[in-house]
Every structure is written in structure tokens, then in C-alpha cells.
Amino acid sequence: MTVTIWDVARRAGVSVATVSRALNRSGPVREETRRRIEQAARELNYAPNSAARSLISRRTGMLGVLLPDLFGEFFSELIRGIDGAAQAGGYHLLVSSSHDAASEIEAALRGMRGRVDGLVVMAPMVEAGVLKPMLPRNVPVVLLSSPLADGAFDALTVDNHGGARQVVEHLLSHGHERVAILKGPERNHDAEERLRGYRTALAAAGVPWRQELEIPGDFTGESGYRGAEAVLRMDPRPTAIFAANDAMAFGALSALRDAGIAVPEEMALAGFDDVSSTRYTIPPLTTAHVAIRELGARAVGMLVDALVPGAGPRPRPRQRETLPATVVVRRSCGCTGAEGGARGP
């Protein structure tokens, strides 16, 4: 049933070694022979057995991608970037998601062992010390948004602190004195950094920090909704909300609308990530722009760089990159000017 390299060799009247060399262009083969082999392969509809190939060559042609989730605009866009770059580099993608707990990550990682030539790991919830021993050392790994700071692995992060600071400073520049933050999950690296940016902005502006203005959340729209409800119950009521990601901002927007609170007149609002639908809410959302797609593309780019086409991982200094996050002003913060009326969907 299955046609092997032997069948091709027999049909072309050569040895398997020659077939291999011809098909992979990995050695000298006379032009005429090569044509004969290629024709034989085509006629037999031959496809090399990738298991056998990677058994001996120790390369699989696949990259592993480990994400906390696949759902939502952020991950959707992230994957898109990852996928594009992987295709461009000639790699297939082995994806695995829904991993927050360290044990799940470990299991997923173990499952990928030996199956991939490189790995993109996004695990903002697990600590450096526990993550590190789980990561394979024989293939290159790129860490996305991970607290792992030592130079053992390539790492790619977003300037969460700077972005959050900018957003909050923008809010403060409108004269808001009481700015609440809807926080991300506890022990999540991105969330912690954004919170830190919030505090930095407050301190820099000389605005007093208040515990009660830091409202728990978990990056879901639902938690944003509840967070905004909590804000509305406060007295005195804050006049601005910084949601640590856009999904929570959308939830908050929903809650504010349901409560009949006008945004931005009665409550200013800003988010983080700049997912695409920030442009189409009412009002459009002021947020910190992150080049999400590029984040994904860059991650596999680093991997592809680390993998020299023919051989295994090549030793080279670890990379550490940080993508900028800059405030993009729309209407939800109370600015009337820029990007006011969204055009198109």
C-alpha cells in the first residue's frame, strides 16, 4: 500500500541512496538520472515517510506552540502572526493550549518532547523557578511574556510597564484624580507589570495611591463587567478606569452602559492591547497599542534564526527583546479629537 523510497529506486533503476540525494538535492546526481527519479516518484505518488526521516536526521520540521488559551482576539491575532511566520520559515505548527497550571504545562511540554525543532512558550502564570526545569534544553525555546529573566532562553516581552504608565498618565492629564484599575489575574506576569505601570504613573504625578482603587480581575470580559460595577458602588466614585486588557475594558463598557453611565463624560475608560475591535466600540477605546501579530511573528522568527536550515540548533547568544506599547488615543478617555469616528468595521 505505502510506497517507499525502495519502490522509487527500483522503478528508476538506481539505488535508494541516489534517490535520496536526487530528491533532497543533497549530493551530486547526473541531470538525466535526477529527472528519471523525479518522474518515477511522481508516477508512484511517492511521499517520504517523515517519521523515518526525522528519526535519522533528528529534525521534525515542526515548531511547538504552547499558549494559555486559543480564544479571544488577542490569541487569535497572536496565532495568526505565529502561523504566518512558521509557514514562511517552512515549519509546521504543533499547538497546545488551555494551560495555566504548571502541571498542565509540564505534561504538554513532555508530549512535545522530540516532536518539535523549537518551542514558543507563553506561560505568564508560572514562576521562573518552576518553569525553567520543565523546558527542554536540546531545542531552542522562545519565552513569551514570561518572568524568566535569566539568560538561559530567548525571551520576548511587551513593554507592559511603559504602556500602562503611558495610558494612566494620559488619563491623569485629563485631570482625573481618582483612577481605578481593573487588574489582571494574580501572579500573571503581564498583569503585574501593568499594575506596576499604573502605580508608577500615579507616583510620578503625585496622585495618592489607594488600595481600594485596585480592583481584582482575570482578563475576562465578565470580570471587567463586575469590576466596573464595583467601581460604580464606590464613594466617592472614581472618574476614570484603566482596564488591564481590552477584554475587561469591553466588559466594563457594557456595565457602564447598563448602568446608564456615559463614557467618557461621566467615566473615562482605557484598556490595553489594542485588539482590533477597540475601533468599533461605542465610544472607540483608548488603549495601549501592542503589535500582537508581530509579537507572534517575531517569536517564531527568533526560533527560525536559531535553527540553521540543515542542522540542529546552533549555539548563539540568547536574545531578549521587548516590543513597545504606546498609548493610542480614541474617544473613551474623553479626548474628542483623534480617531473619533471609526470608519469601517
Judged by beta carbon distances under 5 to 8 A according to partner kind, the member of DNA, its own copies, none in contact with residue 27 is DNA
Query: Binding segment for DNA among 7-15, 187-195, 248-256, 296-304 (CB under 7 A)?
Result: 7-15
Minimum distance of DNA from residue 112's CB (angstroms): 15
**By CB under 8 A, residue 336 contacts its own copies:** no
Judged by beta carbon distances under 5 to 8 A according to partner kind, the member of its own copies, DNA, none in contact with residue 176 is none
* Residues between 44 and 63 with contacts to DNA, criterion CB under 7 A: 46-49, 52-53, 55-57
In sequence order, the β-bridge partners of residue 288 are 327
Mark residues 16-55: x for contact with its own copies by CB under 8 A, - for none. -------------------------------xxxxxx-xx
C-alpha 122, offset from chain centre: 7
* Residue from the set 76, 200, 319, 326 that interacts with its own copies by CB under 8 A: 76
Judged by beta carbon distances under 5 to 8 A according to partner kind, the member of DNA, its own copies, none in contact with residue 143 is none
**By CB under 8 A, residue 96 contacts its own copies:** yes
**By CB under 8 A, residue 77 contacts its own copies:** yes
d(CA 163, CA 165): 5
**By CB under 8 A, residue 343 contacts its own copies:** yes
C-alpha 264, offset from chain centre: 30
Judged by beta carbon distances under 5 to 8 A according to partner kind, the member of DNA, its own copies, none in contact with residue 33 is DNA
**By CB under 7 A, residue 21 contacts DNA:** yes
**By CB under 7 A, residue 235 contacts DNA:** no
Judged by beta carbon distances under 5 to 8 A according to partner kind, the member of its own copies, DNA, none in contact with residue 71 is its own copies
Question: Is the peptide bond preceding residue 315 cis, with omega within 30 degrees of 0?
Answer: no
d(CA 316, CA 226): 48
In sequence order, the β-bridge partners of residue 215 are 182
What DSSP string runs through 258-306? HTT--TTTT-EEE-SB--GGGGTSSSPPBEEE--HHHHHHHHHHHHHHH
Sign of CA dihedral 206, 208, 211, 213: negative
**By CB under 7 A, residue 27 contacts DNA:** yes
d(CA 207, CA 45): 71
d(CA 263, CA 250): 12
d(CA 339, CA 345): 14
**By CB under 7 A, residue 24 contacts DNA:** yes
Residue (of 248, 276, 269, 277) closest to 329 by Cα position: 269
Distances (CA, A) of 263 to 239, 269, 291, 326, 336: 10, 7, 26, 22, 12
Q: Which residues are near DNA by CB under 7 A?
A: 2, 4-6, 13-18, 20-21, 23-24, 26-31, 33-34, 46-49, 52-53, 55-57
Q: Which residues are near its own copies by CB under 8 A?
A: 1-2, 47-52, 54-55, 60, 62, 69-73, 75-77, 79-80, 83-84, 87, 92-98, 110-115, 138, 220-222, 224-226, 247, 250-251, 254-255, 257-258, 277, 280, 282, 341-345
